[in-house]
Structure 1
Amino acid sequence: MSNFLGYDYDYEDMMNIPLLIHIPGEDINEQPENNGGQVDLMPTILNLMGIQNINPYIYGHDLLNTDNNFVLEQMYMPRGSFIKDDIMFCMSEDGIFENGRAWNRITKEPVDVESCRKDFERVYKEIEQSNYILKKDLYKEVLKGKTGKSIELENKDF
């Protein structure tokens, strides 16, 4: 990749993966430049299908209608890592916030780690909420209608 691009292909480049969505018969051509992750696919697809997301247990945001440039990472980076706008925070392997590192993804310049604390706390809160939902099997409860909230899908051709 470095030879092809003409510069050193690094970890930040590896995390920059384009998302292409093709809708047959539509002449839509948009190129939003939002940060997003796999968790954002469902809200984005629901929006494209004209389905309102009313499920409180679905994380992520619609990538076509957001100013939220925030992605929490827990697969390819240590838990607690995130990307927000042009800032990347990588949690340290020892799990100590102060030992993490932060930098501007564009300029590669270091960023003060302490300026990332609020977003780091947000990441941990969202991970804890997600784990709680999974451990309590709340998705099953929503689908059964026991929580009083459900996903209403009209008769659509999928």
Structure 2
Amino acid sequence: MTAPSLDVPPGPGFVATIAAVTAVQKPSDGLAVAQLLITHPGPRRQNETVETVEDGMRRLATALHLGPGEQEPPVIGGKLMIRRGFAALDYGHDRYVMTIPSPSQDWLALVGAGGACRICLVFAPLAVGADQAETDAHLRASFERGQVRWGTTYARRRF
């Protein structure tokens, strides 16, 4: 069996297993930036391997038009949808979007007001129970291996 093309977004079954976490970065210049970290906990479904998970994450990064982590993040257009306290990400599938579970209220307020959101996607699996130190170490190692993609998006005005 051959792997699907990177030009084809992953299906809803794969996307449903992705982990997404929101945060707001408040740098010293006072311009808050919403953040969305997208990871995968690793193989959990039948016939899933670390390689197929990483392939799915690469396909998701390609569908979102994310750029390499070592370069300035590209602006990828309005990919977020906010409505009544719920958030979703348009990842390029023609029928489905990715829900963002439990976004923080400050993240919703910032994105809902038109603020920028930095998406950071990591190819290599990250365990669901990873604490902050483990997540930081995983991000640093993934960045050093060129396994991070990112981009800047915002909420669509209508959906």
What is the TM-score normalised by the length of structure 1?
Answer: 0.22
Decide which structure has greater helix share: 1
Which structure has more relative contact order (CA 8 Å, sep 6+)? It is 2
Decide which structure has greater strand share: 2
What is the TM-score normalised by the length of structure 2?
Answer: 0.22
